[in-house]
Amino acid sequence: MNLFPRRPLLCALVLAVLSGCAAAPTRPVSDTERDALARAADGKFDSAVRVAKMYQAWNDPRALDWYARAAAATPRTHHTTSAEETLGTLLERGRLDSGEGPQKPEAVVMKASPRKAFHWYHSAAYHGSPYAMHDLEKWYERRGDMAGALRWRLRSAVYLRELYKLDALRAATSGSAKPGNPVATGPAPNPLIARIQRRAERGDAESQVDLGTLYEAGIGVVQDKAEALRWYERAGTQGNVYGQYLGGLALGRGGDGLQKNVEAAAAWFARAHAQGFYMAEESYWRQAIAPPFWTFE
């Protein structure tokens, strides 16, 4: 049995790929292009992203399709999420080159699509990319949506152990308090946080994660890591991947009155990893829960 495809079949595959790209510029197929497409028939990330970068360098919109193929490769890794982030950036900017000035006259003009850009940033974030958390924070900021920006700033700060960078926000938000202060009853005095509380109580999983990060950071509420874990777990039980991952971080790190429990943390990380959240793979989460060399919290 011949395990290797015959050359006519391989050529047919290459031509089919080329002919399927209706928006592709008309140009003779070069040996470089033909070879890259043939290699990409293996379906692997490296092969797909090589074609994507080739087309991007040629200012060819087929780059978008090949970045999408690279992003769909399995298993999920930081490489696949980087392809998703690249797609978000290209679609938000509406251009394939990396320049900020006017495009060259011969450049292919792409229509910017903030909606599609958001899709890819969001997909990367929900596959575990900390860079995409930052992308989403800025995406919301540019649109004046401070609630959305706060969500991703808090999730990033918890993951990166950067709660100390939120001191100015904590001081400016009514109701913020360090552990040991009296716990206020009723809704938070800050309207935005009161709205998050209401949605979390009604069962909205994303708001439950948001409320957990607010308790972990002590913004608008009394800082309480055990209460943060309670909200993470409520969201995680509903299948929310950030509830699962941040719950795992809280249990794996412990501290601030919360007992460390690596075994329980591992169970939450396993559930997040099953959803394609690459940072919940064991080598990543063990590094994430390891004690830092220093802390500002």
Which CATH number does the domain housing residue 221 bear? 1.25.40.10
Are both 268 and 183 inside the same structural domain? yes
What are 104-157's pLDDT values in tens digits?
Answer: 655 566 889 999 999 999 999 999 999 999 999 999 999 999 999 999 999 999
What are 37-94's pLDDT values in tens digits?
Answer: 999 999 999 999 999 999 999 999 999 999 999 999 999 999 999 999 999 999 999 9
- Residue 174 and residue 168 in contact, taking contact as beta carbons nearer than 8 Å: no
Are both 117 and 203 inside the same structural domain? no
Q: Which range among 24-28, 206-210, 216-220 shows the weakest confidence by mean pLDDT?
A: 24-28
Domain enclosing residue 285, as ranges: 172-289
User: How far is residue 288's CA from residue 291's CA, in Å, rounded to a whole number?
Assistant: 8
Task: Give the count of domains, the chain.
Answer: 2
Tell whether 13 is covered by a domain.
no
- Residue 160 and residue 204 in contact, taking contact as beta carbons nearer than 8 Å: no
Tell whether 150 is covered by a domain.
no
At 183, the pLDDT band (50, 70, 90 cuts) reads: confident
Are both 116 and 198 inside the same structural domain? no
Confidence (pLDDT) at 181: 84
Query: What SS3 state is found at 129?
Result: coil
pTM comes to 0.86
Q: Which range among 21-30, 168-177, 203-212 shows the weakest confidence by mean pLDDT?
A: 21-30
User: How far is residue 91's CA from residue 71's CA, in Å, rounded to a whole number?
Assistant: 15
At 16, the pLDDT band (50, 70, 90 cuts) reads: very low
Are both 273 and 202 inside the same structural domain? yes
Confidence (pLDDT) at 102: 66
Tell whether 138 is covered by a domain.
no
User: How far is residue 220's CA from residue 177's CA, in Å, rounded to a whole number?
Assistant: 7
- Cβ within 8 Å of residue 212, ≥6 positions away: 227, 228, 229, 230, 231, 232, 235, 243, 246, 247
Are both 179 and 117 inside the same structural domain? no
Tell whether 282 is covered by a domain.
yes
What are 142-163's pLDDT values in tens digits?
Answer: 999 999 999 999 999 999 999 9
Domain boundary among the residues 121, 154, 187 is at 121
Tell whether 23 is covered by a domain.
no
Tell whether 240 is covered by a domain.
yes
Domain boundary among the residues 121, 154, 181 is at 121
- Say if residue 3's pLDDT is above 80: no
Tell whether 272 is covered by a domain.
yes
Tell whether 28 is covered by a domain.
no
Query: What SS3 state is found at 231?
Result: helix
Are both 187 and 91 inside the same structural domain? no
Are both 116 and 176 inside the same structural domain? no
